[in-house]
Amino acid sequence: MRRLAALAIVLVGFGMAGCNAPPMKEYDYPAWGFAASFWSPPKVTDSPASGSEPHYLLVESDQAGRQFAVYAGEGLHADATIDAVGPDAAQRMAKSMGGKVGPMTYASTGAGVLGREFEIDRNGKPYAAVRVFIANGRFYEVAAQSVLGPDDPAAKDFLDSFRITAAPRGAPPPISAQTNAAPGDAASTNVADLMRLAGRRP
């Protein structure tokens, strides 16, 4: 499959992290089966299926030195499991970012949807925290990166705010994507792009 084009969250030019962050507000995406909280209305990219690329939704925010993003992608095989998809997505993302997969643990939404959580480490230091889930026939990636590091309470609050909601099942893989293919190389340090790359399923 061809590599997806780069999107907008570039990990440079951060502003200073605010000391008194405003309360987060939940934004709901019922057609895609999830909700998550942001400080202000996030940017939303809804990309239709094209060729071998599945339909996906990307919701992203870059504010106060933090980047928060949720990727929801269709195109999963009916037998896809988080045990197979989670580690594979982590390796793809780490490779594309020029980093390594840090510790991987189980994660769960507040309603008990089980997934995986892992760090992306660069230059021996934690760089981003990512959680992945499968539900509604879709693959979800939730990522947080902060100038204050992985222990930033705001980053954890964002990750914890993600929840799965009821939704129609996502579309299966397009016919042209029924065989395994390498994702290609990504020349980006862009969280949104890397989430899309890791989220593609053959």
Per residue in 178-193, pLDDT tens?
Answer: 443 333 333 233 445 5
In a domain, 17, yes or no: no
Per residue in 4-46, pLDDT tens?
Answer: 222 223 333 333 344 456 789 999 999 999 999 999 999 999 9
In a domain, 81, yes or no: yes
In a domain, 159, yes or no: yes
- What pLDDT is recorded for position 176? 52
In a domain, 19, yes or no: no
- What pLDDT is recorded for position 202? 33
In a domain, 10, yes or no: no
Predicted TM-score (pTM) of this structure: 0.78
Q: State mean pLDDT over 111-124.
A: 90
The boundaries of the domain holding residue 175 are 26-199
In a domain, 3, yes or no: no
In a domain, 16, yes or no: no
In a domain, 193, yes or no: yes
69: tokens are: 């993003």
Nearest 5°: CA angle at 170, between 166 and 172?
Answer: 155
Angle formed by the axes of helices 191-199 and 82-97, nearest 10°: 140
70: tokens are: 């949720």
Domain count, the chain: 1
- Give the mean pLDDT of the chain: 78
- What pLDDT is recorded for position 162? 97
146 with 66: CB under 8 angstroms? yes
Find the CATH number of the domain harbouring 102.
3.40.1000
59 with 36: CB under 8 angstroms? yes
